[in-house]
Amino acid sequence: MSPGLRPWIAGASVIRPDERRALVHPPDAATALVFRAAAEDGRDGRLTVVGPRTRASYFPGKRLRFCVRLRLSPGSAGVLLGVPARALVDRAVPLADLWGAAGDRLERDLGRAGPDPYRVLRRIEAELAPRIAARAPADAGRDRLLRAAARALAPRPDRRPEPVVAVARRLAVSERHLREVFTDGVGLSPKRFARIERVRTVLAHAGDGRFAQLAALTGYYDQSHMTADFHSLMGVPPGAFFSGRLPATRPCHPV
């Protein structure tokens, strides 16, 4: 990834789905740009914007050549996509619906990129870079506030997440202002963002089965609180999820 894009992209991944296994999409506070190459030679495909996802989704496995996914950093959707993240919550829409002809052109270019997913990734990066350069200087302070708040609200290995009121105080803004800026830029309230980040941390670190310790590290009151929250967002409790007992799948969104 080019250095100029790093503050704006939380992560990039290449996925090769297995049609024999269910697709699990956990809750995610990030907006993502996703290209699915459907044909065997990598030609053709769909370029989709996937907004913040407030609950897990389970879909049947599908046959795809590959899937390239760029997770945007908090506050990046407005700059990179031209729409506030709050308009994308729990939605998946073709990029062309947001960009018009430019989105159609980019999707066609990616479809002609062939079977190399990294070529697709570079082409997307080239399209996003000018949008960063054209952003208004006045947005810089808002971007810094969003990223600082997101870092404070998310669990980390060395500390528990901070309460929203403490984050607002430390960043020298009112709780109301933080909530308004955060909801506009991320698409979710600070509290809902923190809730999703806690569950994602459980998903990432629950392999050793030490749920009580993990509950304490991620900011839950206790293991029961963690189990209830996990069940609410993932559809099944942690024990069922990690043993492979998943909810029933449903057909994928048409995009």
Give ranges for CATH 1.10.10.60 in the chain.
139-242
Q: CA 46, CA 148: separation in Å to the nearest integer?
A: 33
Q: CA 71, CA 77: separation in Å to the nearest integer?
A: 10
Give ranges for CATH 2.60.120 in the chain.
3-133
Q: CA 180, CA 197: separation in Å to the nearest integer?
A: 19
CATH T-level fold of 139-242:
Arc Repressor Mutant, subunit A (1.10.10)
HSE at residue 250, side-chain half, CA atoms within 13 A, is 6
Q: Tell me the whole-structure pTM to 2 decimals.
A: 0.88
Tokens, residue 76: 């990046």
Residue type, 244: G
CATH 1.10.3470 fits 3-133, yes or no: no
Tokens, residue 224: 């029961």
Phi, psi of 57 (to 5 degrees): -130, 145
pLDDT tens digits for the chain (255 residues)?
677 788 899 999 998 877 677 789 999 999 999 999 876 655 578 999 999 999 999 988 777 788 899 999 988 998 899 999 999 999 999 999 999 999 999 999 998 887 889 899 999 999 998 988 877 676 778 888 999 999 999 988 677 888 999 999 999 999 999 999 999 999 999 999 999 999 999 998 876 667 888 888 888 989 999 999 999 999 999 989 998 899 988 776 544
